[in-house]
Amino acid sequence: MCDPTLADCPEVAKVPDFWRRLNLSERKFLALDYDGTLAPFHPDPMQAFPLPEIPELLEKLSQRSDTTLAIISGRPLKEVLELLGDLAVVVVGSHGREVKKSDGSLTAIEPTDKQRTGLKAALHLAVQEGFEQHLEKKIGSIALHTRPLSPHRAAKLENIAFAKWSALAQHYDLECMEFNGGVEVRCTGRNKGNVLAELLDLQPSGTFSVYIGDDITDEDGFREIKGRGIGIKVGEPTTPTAAVGFLASCEEVRDFLRAWSLSDPTPVPHPG
């Protein structure tokens, strides 16, 4: 059993009874963001690989009979699968718009005609500003990536994109959001919280559920899991967030996954 006094069982800051509760639960559900959670940031997003050992730990967790695992990312699904490998678990991309179920079947939620028109206009505006090389087009959004730029230039581009896209967004059922490393204009009506709610609904009652993420878009997930499980933010415990627990870094997430993978499956009580 994973004992919180053991050195390799990381403390979940502000949730002192985390491991005790996990160990008392017969069924467990764990949903994880990708960037900044499983993978440290990299100036080239396609070089942001998971920390060593994490793919093996996810594989191990996916094979546990007591644990259901899901990955929920803002990236296009294709990129998550390329970087993480194709696990037999639910993998969600584009903030909930693309879903690969554990059996491999795929679903995608397309933007409405109005949203499509808005995204086209947003793209046009960004290209006019000369941002083309920093843009990423996804199924329901356009992201401006500024990580490779100097802080001064990054802030300048983000401010321009945020102002231009925000003015446009309200007319086309879009919303403009900052994230760690840029700004994104995306379709409303679908976010990490919606998809997390659907996944939580599929779990048997009494399941011990956890969502871990690091960024602004994960706040939808933290709000959704309130009252149904535990939201854990990757970052300092002083960060304003709807999460209740904290792990300091991707390294701590790795240690957390290792501890979960080593925990004893809770025996199913037999009647009588």
Q: Where on the chain is the footprint of Mg ion (CB under 5 A)? A: 33, 35-36, 214-215
CA-closest candidate to residue 264, choices 22, 8, 6, 11: 22
The tokens for 59 are 């594989």
- Which residues fall within 8 angstroms of residue 161, CB to CB, at 6 or more apart? 126, 129, 131, 144, 176, 183, 185
- DSSP string of 193-260, one letter each residue: HHHHHHHHHTSPTT-EEEEEE-SGGGHHHHHHHBTTBEEEEES-TTS--S-SEEE-SHHHHHHHHHHH
Q: How far is the CB of 216 from Mg ion (least distance, A)?
A: 9
Residue closer to Mg ion, measured from CB, 184 or 215: 215
Provide, rounded to whole angstroms, the least separation between the CB of residue 3 and Mg ion: 30
For residues 14 and 245, the answer to whether their CB atoms sit within 8 Å is: yes
Cα angle at 38 between 144 and 161, to 5 degrees?
A: 10
Residue nearest to Mg ion (CB): 36
Question: Do residues 96 and 195 lie in contact, with contact meaning Cβ atoms separated by under 8 Å?
Answer: yes
> Do residues 30 and 210 make contact, with C-beta atoms less than 8 angstroms apart?
yes
Which CB sits closer to Mg ion, 66 or 218?
A: 218
| Residue 34 C-beta: closest distance to Mg ion, Å | 6
When the beta carbons of 125 and 234 are compared against Mg ion, the nearer one is 234
When the beta carbons of 9 and 244 are compared against Mg ion, the nearer one is 244
What is d(CA 197, CA 2) in angstroms, rounded to the nearest whole number?
28
Cβ atoms of 6 and 110 within 8 Å: the answer is no
| Between 27 and 41, CB nearer to Mg ion | 41
Output the CA angle 78-182-254, nearest 5 degrees. 60
Residue among 13 and 216 whose Cβ is closer to Mg ion: 216
Distance of alpha carbon 180 from alpha carbon 42, whole angstroms: 11
Asked if residues 31 and 68 have their Cβ atoms less than 8 Å apart, the reply is no
Q: How far is the CB of 42 from Mg ion (least distance, A)?
A: 13
Least distance in Å: CB of 253 to Mg ion? 11
Question: Closest separation between CB of residue 28 and Mg ion, Å?
Answer: 22
Q: Which is nearer to Mg ion, 33 or 224 (CB)?
A: 33
Q: How far is the CB of 272 from Mg ion (least distance, A)?
A: 47
